[in-house]
Chains A and B, each alone.
With several copies, the nearest count.
Chain A
Amino acid sequence: MNSLNIDDFKNIFSEISTLMNDNKNYLCELDGVLGDGDIGVTMASGFSFVKKELQEKQSLGDFGQFFRTCGSVMSEKAPSTMGTLLGSGFIKASKSLKGKESLDQSDLVELFNQINDGIQSRGKAEIGDKTILDALTPAVKALEKEKNASIETMILEAYKAAEVGMKQTIEMQSNKGRGARYQENSKGKQDPGATVAKLIFEGFRIYINQHKAI
């Protein structure tokens, strides 16, 4: 597979929405330990609004419009930290994907690079601060590394990197968001935001796998 179009992405977001819903309680439990316990609810509801809007909206001619929609729905419907960060990432990406109707390997790298940048410049977290970035950034690096391989390979590697990153947050001390107030005590617990990043790549992987099979 060497490209993904708008319909592919609609399906991918639908997979992600299902995953967020299935993992709602799991995510909330993680956030209950380090934060206010709402991330599962906001992600499940945020992505389901995004999915619905993507399915209903007529004018999704290019990936600029596509991610602009994702971004504004997510920030409007889930104005929590995670919703706002993802919203910012999507909107950042929408700007550099204007006009594109399908994404090839290097576009995919660009997409996640922009999302990562958008989140980073909104939240100002560094790698190691125990946030979504600790899963997302390694995944972006994996995408870059595999940009000459197939999309299947890229996504698989990105997913694996995100999962490793997510697990590495367990040992980190939180420096951003509500978790930060636990200082030393935040260690030993997996970051809920990083878990969201891993689930996003899992959504891509599931869709790509189904496709490969056909």
Chain B
Amino acid sequence: MKKFMNEPENFINETLEGLLSAHPNKLRSVREDNKALVRADAPVENKVAIVTGGGAGHLPLFLGYIGKGMVDGASVGEVFTASSAQQMLDTTKAVESGKGVLYIYGNYSGDVMNFDMAAEMAEEDGIRVETVIGKDDIASMPIEQKEDRRGVAGIFYLYKLAAAKAEQGANLEELKEFTEKVNNQVKTIGVALSPCVLPNVGKPAFTIEEDSMEIGMGIHGEPGIEKGSLQTADEIASNLIEKILQDYGNEKVENVSVLINGLGSTPLEELYIVYRKVSLILKDKGIDICKAYVGQYATSLEMTGLSISLLNTNEEIRSLLELPFSTPFHEQSSL
């Protein structure tokens, strides 16, 4: 196994120590184990706070989205493992400023159960909590079981838009309602070419044959919906976009934001080759692109692959999307 690491059991602790020492102006730890991180300036007054969390190994997900114009705090689990309710509660307490807290996280049972538990504990402490669960992976369940879909890279849009809306003064109920609406308009599908290696396991978590790809594979290697021989970038782009557009059904889709997300080992050049085709296809269908994001937004350690997310936008969403944000990994300036 070729990893830059020391003892596998310290993998995440040391990552967190590195992150905290690299970004002291952006991040603050509120637990000795560093498993609850918040904005350096938390709690931010007069704003609903946004908390996320989940297993590690997906940087910039989840804690990497802590920052101005993004989320207020994140609890951190071990690699691919949910964090505990107590860690979530500690995060919650450190960011809330009386306006309530919105939990936004991906639909994985460990996360759901722990966040639910944290929410109950927070309510007992007099903190109002609402929850929106990211479910953007259209390959994880058929449309009829939409509520059971997993959350993947598209959660970026939930963070970004909820945060912008919160900064504009939305109250907790409005924020939840708005974020749920966004949630319904985000759709993602991924394709994997090679597996990732868990630090404490030391060998690939699964195998994908040489010259093969797996469409719909999840960010922990959950089985996909189509295995087959590797297609060209253009074929893959067409194939994935077709599936996403189909999933919108009768929804009007006229203007979208596109997110091409690398899973870890995919060169940026290749992400842009795929973006190129996506933009051509959408143009062909008369769908405008208001904003493109191309890069690493939700990874699976060193997995090779990518995902395409579309966000179906309206005017409000487009204007919120333009607002700046600043995190340790991505920034969007108003320069």
Contact = CB atoms under 8 A, between A and B. Distances in A.
Contacts of B86: 72, 75-76
Nearest to B88: A79
Contacts of A80: 81-82, 110
Nearest to A177: B109
Contacts, number: 48
A197 interface: no
Interface in B66-100: 77, 81-87
Contacts of A87: 85, 117
B223 A84 contact: no
Interface string A80-98: 1100110110010000000
A80 to B, nearest CB: 6
Nearest to A91: B117
B240 to A, nearest CB: 21
Contacts of A85: 113
Nearest to B85: A75
B84 A88 contact: no
A79 B109 contact: no
Contacts of B114: 75, 79, 84
A84 B87 CA distance: 13
Interface string B104-125: 0000011001101100000000
Contacts of A76: 84-87
Interface residues of A, number: 17
Contacts of B87: 76, 79
Chain B interface main SS type: helix
B110 A122 contact: no
A190 to B, nearest CB: 20
Chain A interface main SS type: helix
B222 interface: yes
Given A84-B113, A85-B113, A176-B109, A79 B222 contact: no
Nearest to B83: A79
Contacts of B83: 79
A88 B77 CA distance: 18
A84 B81 contact: no
Nearest to B222: A181
Interface in A28-77: 72, 75-77
Contacts of A72: 86
Contact of B109 (A75, A77, A81, A88): A81
Interface string A104-133: 000000000000000000110000000000
Contacts of B109: 81, 123, 176-177
Contacts of B117: 75, 84, 87-88, 91, 122
A181 B117 CA distance: 25
Nearest to B140: A181
A8 to B, nearest CB: 28
A77 B82 CA distance: 11
Interface of B: 77, 81-87, 109-110, 113-114, 116-117, 222-223
Interface of A: 72, 75-77, 79-81, 84-85, 87-88, 91, 122-123, 176-177, 181
8 contacts: A76-B84, A77-B84, A79-B83, A80-B81, A84-B113, A87-B85, A91-B117, A181-B222
Given A79-B87, A91-B117, 5 more contacts: A76-B87, A79-B81, A79-B82, A88-B117, A176-B109
